[in-house]
Amino acid sequence: MLMIPGPTPVPEKVLLAMAQRPIGHRSGDFSKIIAEINDRLKWLHQTKNEVLSLNVSGTGAMEAGIINFLSPGDRVLVGVNGKFGDRWAQIAETFGLDTIRISAEWGDPLDTEEFRTHLEGDTNKEIKAVIITHSETSTGVLNDLETINKYIKAHGTALSIVDAVTSLGAYDLPIDDLGLDVVASGSQKGYMIPPGLGFICVSDKAWEAYKTCKFPRFYMDLGKYKKANLKASSPFTPPVNLMYGLQAALQMMEREGLESIFSRHQRLTSATRAGVQALGLKLFAADDCASTAVTAVEPAPIGAEDIRKIMSSKYNIALAGGQDHFKGKIFRIGHLGFVSDRDILAGIACLEATLIELGHDIKPQAGVKAAAAVLA
């Protein structure tokens, strides 16, 4: 049972769809599948712009989003308050961008005022982009993208480049209403399918920047993907069977409806956090910046890896560990994608049993009662 922030559980309907025999990716029948997928991706992203599908992970989608709209030496602001913010800063630095890190402690949200100060002080319009991790998967923090984006819009020149890898499909992110420029995500998260596809939604403003971008690119040239998208095709060979799965998953999501998807994720987040707190464990991120995709827990003095080991070996539940300097100090509970009330109750019950086995003094059924009260 996967209770990690990715890969996430895959519905049986999606698995069966992927078990079909592949067909020619240049055939008329497959073109119809691409056309359907493209329409539903726009629905999920709440946009009229093209949403491009690449054969990459979320990291690949973010890299493509950086190298298609910027040029060597461009100045960028990068929010860093976890593993993935740090990764985007490293990518920007690797490509020779003039990278300004706006940092916060792991577990804390980014300070929106720091972005305002930098952007308002940039009278010469030298800042070309602001790169933000919306849901910082490594810590369970949801950064205030809406406020930061207002400052980007007021700047007028800078593009917003957003890592929505664990927020797209788990949090209401109306891309067109917000006017976001480049939004990247990955298939193994809220999309409910296995890893292998990355998605990028691109605004008209970003496409204008594309025309003057000086980074060399070929396979990651998003112009080729846009051209193919408009013809319900792909510039290179797509993962046909993964596309079958994506088609089925998007159909399931549309039947559930956006409002229901977002409210379900918020309900599961609240239940998870209530259950964890009732067990006497410390939440790593505060309530006002809690991700609806993953909850990070700081269990000291109990060892995070001891908890993960028993949860896996005895109850067959996979929890995610801490990353970098928080390895062994926190564990993370994923609750995005194909996840239900029952899954959260089962996970909290097994976590409670694990803590009892490790000698943690708690009231019987405290976690389950707290989670169930939220779900009720």
What DSSP line would sit under 23-91, residue for residue?
Answer: --TTSHHHHHHHHHHHHHHHHHHT-SS-EEEESS-HHHHHHHHHHTT--TT-EEEEEESSHHHHHHHHH
At residue 215, the pLDDT reads: 97
Say how far apart CA 261 and CA 241 lie, in whole Å: 25
pLDDT tens, residue by residue, 14-37: 999 999 999 999 999 999 999 999
At residue 364, the pLDDT reads: 87
Is 352's pLDDT higher than 90?
Answer: yes
With beta carbons less than 8 A apart as the criterion, state whether 247 and 192 touch: no
Is 170's pLDDT higher than 90?
Answer: yes
Of 242 and 361, the structure prediction assigns the larger pLDDT to 242
Percent of the chain with pLDDT over 90: 99
- Sort strands 294-298 and 282-283 into parallel, antiparallel or unpaired: antiparallel
Mean pLDDT score across all residues of the chain: 98
The shares of helix, strand and coil residues in the chain, as percent rounded to the nearest 5, are 45, 15, 40
Structural domains in the chain?
11-255 (3.40.640.10), 258-375 (3.90.1150.10)
Which helix (H) or strand (E) segment holds residue 233: the answer is none
Is 206's pLDDT higher than 90?
Answer: yes
Tokens read off for 97: 């961008």
pLDDT tens, residue by residue, 281-325: 999 999 999 999 999 999 999 999 999 999 999 999 999 999 999
